[in-house]
Amino acid sequence: MAQSEVQEESEKKGLNFVEEEVFNDLKAGKNGGRLSTRFPPEPNGYLHIGHAKAICMDFGVAEKFGGTCNLRFDDTNPVKEDVEYVDSIREDIHWLGFDWGNREYYASDYFPQLFDLAVRLIKEGKAYVDDQTSEEIAAQKGTPGTPGQESPYRNRSVEENLDLFMRMNAGEFDEGARVLRAKIDMASPNMHFRDPIMYRIIKTPHHRTGTTWKVYPMYDFAHGQSDYFEGVTHSICTLEFVVHRPLYEYFVKELADESYCPRQIEFNRLNLTYTVMSKRKLLQLVKEGLVAGWDDPRMPTISGMRRRGYTPQSIRNFIDTIGYTKYEALNSISLLEHAVRDDLNRVATRGMAVVNPLKVVITNYPEDKVETVTMENNPEDPESGVHEMPFSRTIFIERDDFMENPPKKFFRLAPGTEVRLKGAYIIKCDEVVKDSEGNIVELRCSYDPDTLSGMAGAARKVKGTLHWVSAQHAVDAEVRLYDRLFDVENPAAETERDFREMLNPESLVVVQGVKVEPFIARNAEAGAKFQFQRVGYFTPDADSTPEHLVFNRTIALKDTWEKVQKKS
Ligand code: ATP
Ligand code: MG
């Protein structure tokens, strides 16, 4: 991109600190003015909302400055990796609205070059084979204040090192028997420089390279070089890699020159309240059946959020809101939920559903009469049109919307009071019918026939408006009400209890016999977004069929968490 264009671009938009660094590099003509980033997931789990933050950064900065972003699978540990994860990662990035074109790469693509580089470093006396166990090596590491101890194998001859490394890769030795280490400095104040491990022996077949390799590079030996082989100019990652940066640069310098050198820049991770972000813990939840799978709608995974009904736009808006800094923080899940409500309010189709139905018979309405009333699909979207909804003598209202002995400011239905049925008539409660145990089973009401839209009494005011469905037309559905997965704010910070003990037992409540209006039933396709009026935002679940409708509650209309907390 021409410098003048770059200039213009930066002035137009407020840049975050990473974008500013990138902008300055482009302005200075580094790497020939080229910009290339990468998103480097390890295919050892599904992506979560933290990864979305990295994706928005890596792809976003490339888009902003006319560069490209590669997708690179960091597949250096066959023990934990799987193609299922590769596929899910691709799907999730696309769903978020980003594309890597034909630039899909794998760290395993570079195993031959990495191996060659390791051999070269051995020949140059910069790497050696260590026969000690990982425990012994760890014990010699020293502490940041005290130097480490040199391995007794550190000064092996080049020939012996070469021979052993080849035999390691030929499968002659057991896993853990030997490692290849960089020979740097056991007294370095940076612990990562104390002869870091470059290669270890793994005998599990790799999902792409099969049994070709018996030695696999460690992250620090693979990442920077992979960036280099791909021509990545800006390797953007999270703050825990700050301490790795000197080693990143050390290894990259073995390859790069002034004409092109990748640069690592770090930003703060996304941490969210009431959930965990560790892939290891998420995997545990899945494996132990504590959730229904990686895409369980309570999971902080992208696939879980998609299944729950979150929109990609809401996730991107949330990430924009929290921004990128150099300081670790814990972000409130309320902010994410706010972004979800905001976007759903814009796009969701309004309909009526009664979650906890109470039968209402309108005694002065003719037995077999059916009228249709017209409902707006989305008042936020003038293009969205209207739909028709049947009205008849027997309807359902929400049980909560009636009280036999209401407190003063209860503006919903009570004996002798009036409410408007949204989009239809005003009704008055005349009689409460109970079963032998005293439970309310039915209300008998009368309607004011003059109060439908367009009639003389249409404008007559009553205090409450209720949602409702016609009993004979309503369709039964199952509804899954989700709440936060954990009931403590920061499960990762609790040291006393195992994280699984902090799961919220009420994170999923299943309700059967929910009554939805026919329009909702007809339009319950995968991905549809509804606002059940006065109830919340809902989407059909993957388990939903026309015979058995299942809806996930994406989110309630208002943030009720605070209230719930106070009650309990
Ligand atoms: P692990 O390495 O423990 O398996 P990870 O969450 O770091 O887990 P990776 O697949 O290595 O998973 O992550 C890919 C990219 O996503 C990395 O660049 C990483 O920095 C970034 N990333 C991971 N978690 C977060 C987070 N919570 N916030 C922002 N970026 C993240
Ligand atoms: Mg990682």
279 tagged catalytic: yes
269 tagged catalytic: yes
Q: For residue range 381-401, what is the model confidence (pLDDT) as tens digits?
A: 999 999 999 999 999 999 999
Q: For residue range 237-280, what is the model confidence (pLDDT) as tens digits?
A: 999 999 999 999 999 999 998 889 999 999 999 999 999 999 99
Residue 11 has pLDDT above 90, yes or no: no
Mean pLDDT of 116-123: 98
- Rounded to whole angstroms, how far apart are CA atoms 264 and 547? 53
Mean pLDDT of 405-434: 96
Partner residues linked to 374 by β-bridges: 388
| Residue 258: per-residue pLDDT | 82
Rg (CA), the chain: 31
Q: Which amino acid is at 516?
A: V
| Residue 562: per-residue pLDDT | 43
Mean pLDDT of 508-523: 98
Residue 12 has pLDDT above 60, yes or no: no
| Residue 259: per-residue pLDDT | 86
| Residue 410: per-residue pLDDT | 93
Other beta carbons less than 10 A from residue 13's beta carbon: 10
| Residue 567: per-residue pLDDT | 41
**Atom from ligand 1 closest to the CA of residue 271:** 27
Mean pLDDT of 352-369: 97
Closest-CA residue, ligand 1 atom 5, reads 279
- Rounded to whole angstroms, how far apart are CA atoms 43 and 87? 9
How far does residue 109's CA lie from ligand 1's centre (Å)? 21
Closest-CA residue, ligand 1 atom 1, reads 279
Q: For residue range 58-98, what is the model confidence (pLDDT) as tens digits?
A: 999 999 999 999 999 999 999 999 999 999 999 999 999 99
Strands 127-130 and 440-448: unpaired
Q: Which of 16, 44, 51, 245 to mutate to test the pocket of ligand 1 (most atoms within 8 A of CB)?
A: 51
Q: For residue range 150-178, what is the model confidence (pLDDT) as tens digits?
A: 999 999 999 999 999 999 999 999 999 99
Q: Who contacts 258 (Cβ-Cβ below 8 Å, separation ≥6)?
A: none
**How large a percentage of the chain has pLDDT more than 90?**
93
Residue 109 has pLDDT above 50, yes or no: yes
**Atom from ligand 1 closest to the CA of residue 236:** 18
Q: Who contacts 328 (Cβ-Cβ below 8 Å, separation ≥6)?
A: 239, 268, 269, 271
**C-alpha distances out from residue 454 to 135, 373, 427, Å:** 82, 11, 17
Identify which has the larger pLDDT, 558 or 483: 483
Mean pLDDT of the chain: 95
Mean pLDDT of 130-141: 96
Among 34, 80, 90, 269, the active-site one is 269
How far does residue 267's CA lie from ligand 1's centre (Å)? 12
Q: For residue range 309-356, what is the model confidence (pLDDT) as tens digits?
A: 999 999 999 999 999 999 999 999 999 999 999 999 999 999 999 999
| Residue 14: per-residue pLDDT | 85
**How large a percentage of the chain has pLDDT more than 70?**
96
Contact 129, 154 (CB under 8 A): no
| Residue 10: per-residue pLDDT | 53
- Rounded to whole angstroms, how far apart are CA atoms 245 and 459? 69
Mean pLDDT of 99-125: 98
- Which protein residues are within 6 Å of ligand 1, measured from CB? 40-42, 44, 50-51, 53-54, 237-238, 269-270, 277, 279
- Rounded to whole angstroms, how far apart are CA atoms 335 and 341? 10
566 tagged catalytic: no
Mean pLDDT of 9-30: 86
- Rounded to whole angstroms, how far apart are CA atoms 235 and 259? 17
- Rounded to whole angstroms, how far apart are CA atoms 312 and 340? 9
Orientation angle between helical segments 3-12 and 17-27, nearest 10 degrees: 160
Q: What confidence tier does 289 reach under pLDDT thresholds 50, 70, 90?
A: very high
| Residue 453: per-residue pLDDT | 87
Mean pLDDT of 473-498: 95
Reference 536, options 316, 374, 309; nearest CA is: 309
Reference 389, options 368, 372, 370; nearest CA is: 372
